[in-house]
Chain A
């Protein structure tokens, strides 16, 4: 069972997505993809706050929401862990669904720039392969 460092997380400022929400989505994606497995420990609120230079309350808020959703569980004296999964690993379709919010945002900006879908898709394909 891995212990994930605070450096697993990253946030951007200047976004319309509040920072706590960015953290929630990141954990959700890492769990969905299996990069965070059941039983893995998450860095403490304090560590994340220090490393990312964030108000600790923002980190607590993200962890609290993930706990409410059942993705994380708080272990007395041990901090946060990834909860034991109920059911099977998530399907490709349900993992892809997690990308929807950010893609909707990109789609909106693409429309504002009057770009046609083919141009946008080929750019996205390029970006995906670039970092693969």
Chain B
């Protein structure tokens, strides 16, 4: 039961002479909701892309649902949803055409959920038939999220899913994540810089630093265990917020 759904074992990745991942190990258990944190350029997107088999790794191994990521069966592939940081939608299509296209690709596609999300997230008839290239960044991001949720994935990977959304859009997204995804036991891995959103939904956090997972654990335990180091005689150690912890761990 507690076999990891995602298992990365000592993977490395260079871009030119820059080492982004350095013998990294990372595991995700079924039903976990993990927030991936790290500074800009720490390699979060690279890590998520390697995790999904979108980038080749140097050495090590990546398995998803127990299968080698480079030889995933179609059935396993259909269980994974991904929202990339940069929209990779077919820009010449309309939202409706795009969703119909993906609907045909997946054996399981929750059309009722997709239609409900389109309605709730402001995709009226006019917008559904507009070229994706004409949509705003926030609208494209919402469409990308709807596309990823369409097949009711068992594993959802989100790379900065709310970076282009305003506070209302972010809250709508969080509510959908809570009600439509987490409640169903879906495993979620997401990277974000918006700590307040992470605190609301992630039970676990992982910090990426120097190409490795520097710290991973339940958020509540990390907050309760963390005390800022103070110089001797400077008084009692102060409790830390997630933001304090982020700065402490990633600097």
Interface residues in B175-190 (C-beta closer than 8 Å to A) = 175, 178-179, 182-183
Name B200's contact: one of A13, A46, A61 (CB within 8 Å): A13
- CB-based contact B219/A54 at 8 Å: no
Query: Which residues of B lie under 8 Å from residue A16 when comparing CB positions?
Result: 223, 226, 238-241, 244
Q: How many A-B residue pairs have CB under 8 A?
A: 67
A33 shortest CB reach to chain B, Å:
25
Nearest-Cβ distance from residue A128 to partner chain B, whole angstroms: 24
Per-residue CB contact flags for chain A residues 14-58 toward chain B (1 = under 8 Å, else 0) read 111111110000000000000000000000001001101111111
- Interface SS of chain B: helix
User: Which residues of A lie under 8 Å from residue B243 when comparing CB positions?
Assistant: 14
Partner of B183 from A46, A105, A111 at Cβ < 8 Å? A46
State the CA gap A15–B226 with chains docked (Å). 12
Contact A13 B195 (CB under 8 A): yes
Determine chain A's interface SS by DSSP, over half rule. helix
Task: Tell me whether A19 and B200 are in contact (CB under 8 A).
Answer: yes
Q: Does B242 contact A (CB under 8 A)?
A: yes
Partner among B178, B199, B236 whose Cβ is within 8 Å of the Cβ of A108: B236
With beta carbons under 8 angstroms apart, the residue of B183, B203, B224, B235 that contacts A58 is B203
A-side interface residues toward B, CB under 8 Å?
A: 13-21, 46, 49-50, 52-58, 61, 105, 108, 111-112
Pairs A–B under 8 Å by Cβ, sample size 14: A13-B196, A14-B195, A16-B239, A16-B244, A18-B219, A18-B223, A19-B199, A46-B183, A50-B178, A53-B175, A53-B201, A55-B182, A56-B178, A61-B220
